[in-house]
Amino acid sequence: MNPIVHGELSWLVSQPLASKRDRGLVTLAGLVPDIDGLSLLGGVDAYATYHHLLTHGLVAAAVTALGCAALARDKLRTAGLALVSFHLHVVCDLAGSGPGWPVLYFWPMSRHEWMWAWQWDLASWQNSVIGMLATLACLAAALVVGRTPLELVSQRADAVVTGTIRRRFGRTA
């Protein structure tokens, strides 16, 4: 699954939180697993070896949740939703990164490979549908909660998009 969809899904998970900062932390937690994708800088072989290994497991999840809790206003709920967001990323990668590409969830304690028999390719209709639904849900959030994921990068852009959607679909602030 691509990072944009991981970000959208993670932002959707963060919606019960009142603080934009905490929502940003939970969204970030859902993107953290892909830090090991930087192994591509070492070449295709390094990427094949280290992506889904270094930051797609239990240790990285715990470090991420603790880091989010340390920086959050609502520490417990943010840490819990950070764990949900992180693990949603791992499950999405397990299902939609390609057949035969395992996640080593318990690394470095174990090299047991987790795979799912029905994994689909990264460039698949399943990932396209999930991506479209995530984007529509993020846009629908403008109507329901009065914000979109743009809140994390630009309040002004978020206000413009939210206002436009609300005017178009007949719901004012």
Q: Kindly report, residue by residue over 85-142, the tens digit of the pLDDT.
A: 999 999 999 999 989 889 999 999 999 999 988 999 999 999 999 999 999 999 999 9
Task: Indicate the DSSP class of residue 54.
Answer: S
State which residues form the domain around 95: 3-168
In total, how many domains does the chain have?
1
61 in a structural domain: yes
Is the distance from CB of 104 to CB of 52 less than 8 angstroms? Answer: yes
Residue 145 is encoded by which pair of tokens? 């909660």
- Is 173 domain-assigned? no
> For position 171, what pLDDT does the model report?
64
Q: Which of 152, 122, 133, 123 is nearest to 24 (CA)?
A: 152
Can you give 68-103 as a three-state secondary structure string? Answer: HHHHCCCHHHHHHHHHHHHHHHHHHHHHHCCCCCCE
| Average pLDDT, rounded, for the chain | 95
| Sequence-distant (≥ 6) Cβ neighbours of residue 166 within 8 angstroms | 142, 143, 146, 172, 173
Tokens of 124: 């698949």
Question: Is 153 part of a structural domain of the chain?
Answer: yes
Q: At what angle do helices 75-96 and 58-71 cross, to 10 degrees?
A: 150
Cβ atoms of residues 173 and 166 within 8 Å? yes
Does residue 46 lie within any of the structural domains?
yes
Q: Is residue 139 part of a domain?
A: yes
* Tens-place pLDDT, residues 58-68: 999 999 999 99
In this prediction, what percent of the chain has a pLDDT beyond 70? 98
Enter the tokens of residue 79.
Answer: 């840490």
Helix ranges (H only) for 31-173 are: 44-50, 58-71, 75-96, 125-144, 155-168
